[in-house]
Structure 1
């Protein structure tokens, strides 16, 4: 079903389309930032890490630009119903994307630290978890573009698999710590990185909830999975 209909005003359509396009540009940049950040974990590519950190300013500027455009269209067009929900969903989604960009920057700060060859297994586990989250981000951006509620639900539930990845990484870190107490400083660094990756998964879940909100016109925040399944089935 096409939830993104046309309006009598062609100019209004053009303005909405421009905002949606800008959000996808921001989403593409954040996705690249995250992909590069995860890449720095295994490769210890300091130059790439520094580039990601520097490019975070572009993400921040896009958030401000899109947010201002949304405020202007609300003031000028006074949209109602689904149009207003779409604009509010975009405003909230770009805030989530900006925070994902911050997490990518944090990962790069962590990746710049020195790890011994023996400790590379820590980074390998984080790399696997990170690539699962990259796919989750890619999929939720695609679902948002099409306002595909079924795909959004699948992605929302994907968070459970990421949590299992996180728990597995934590067990590995604890084992490593018990075997070699000298590794504790790097264990703490790796733990912070795992938490950053886990937070990105939660951000993707939040964007899924915005798709539910736009399509169903209901707020799905802070409700259980069973409630979400029931509401989406209506």
Structure 2
């Protein structure tokens, strides 16, 4: 009887550790969302102070990644999880790596914002970028929401939306190339906008990665590097 009680206590404690791990990931995700929102706002509104704040706060994202990664290592060493629990820890390790890189992309956008603050981009150039940013921020939010609710269908929706982001990114690149060809003086501004758009496109990709890790955890299937059609079939099984 005593042995059974100890086992139950340990199981509950382990369950709480895994739940705390999920909360830490969501807290890190919330910080990264805030960093991205502020970076985009600084770019669109020419807010130098906000851009500098995003750059200065990047260390917080890095610190959270290290902290969660250490917790995962500790769980692997002490608990030696198997099956579903192991998949959760592995998924978390990969997700926080992508969140950290999204934080890096937000910092990059803030740096482009500082460059653009000394120039005068056309309003339509920024409006095109604003639409892309809105789409990407929605993808990141939904990816985190899918993880919070373990919602595979929402995760699939995020992956499907990546095609739209890729199309919008390609449109922006073509437009900026046109501006550069029209007048060489447009080159510095166009390059800053292209780099910002590239960062946003990468954030969309990393949001998709996070959804693939979630599907791996819930379904036990590695769905990386397969077509969207194959992914839909795997989820339905």
TM-score (norm 1): 0.94
Distance 2:81 2:19 in 1: 14
The structure number with the bigger radius of gyration is: 2
- The answer to whether residue 92 in structure 2 is matched with residue 90 in structure 1 is yes
Quote how far apart the aligned CAs of 1:120 are: 3.3
Quote how far apart the aligned CAs of 1:210 are: 0.5
Distance 2:20 2:121 in 1: 50
Distance 2:127 2:49 in 1: 20
SS state of the match for residue 38, structure 2?
Answer: helix
Provide structure 1 residue ranges, at least 5 long, that are not aligned to the other structure: 1-5
State how 1:140-219 maps to structure 2 within 5 Å.
Answer: 140-219=143-222
* CA distance 1:21–1:178, shift in 2 (3 Å): same
Distance 2:74 2:91 in 1: 15
Aligned length: 229
Quote how far apart the aligned CAs of 1:7 are: 9.0
Aligned to 2:3: none
* CA distance 1:195–1:10, shift in 2 (3 Å): same
Provide structure 2 residue ranges, at least 5 long, that are not aligned to the other structure: 1-7
Distance 2:123 2:65 in 1: 35
Quote how far apart the aligned CAs of 1:126 are: 1.1
* CA distance 1:177–1:17, shift in 2 (3 Å): same
Quote how far apart the aligned CAs of 1:159 are: 0.2
* CA distance 1:126–1:17, shift in 2 (3 Å): same
Task: Please report the RMSD computed on the Cα atoms of aligned residues, expressed in angstroms.
Answer: 1.5
Distance 1:228 1:7 in 2: 39
Quote how far apart the aligned CAs of 1:124 are: 2.0
Kept in 2, the 8 Å contact 1:41–1:127? The answer is no
Aligned to 1:62: 64
Kept in 2, the 8 Å contact 1:31–1:137? The answer is yes
**Counterpart among 83, 88, 97 of residue 81 in structure 1:** 83
TM-score (norm 2): 0.92
Kept in 2, the 8 Å contact 1:70–1:91? The answer is yes
Tell me the alpha carbon deviations over residues 128-159 of structure 1, each in whole angstroms, 9 at most, x when there is no partner.
21111111101100101111101100111110
Quote how far apart the aligned CAs of 1:118 are: 5.1
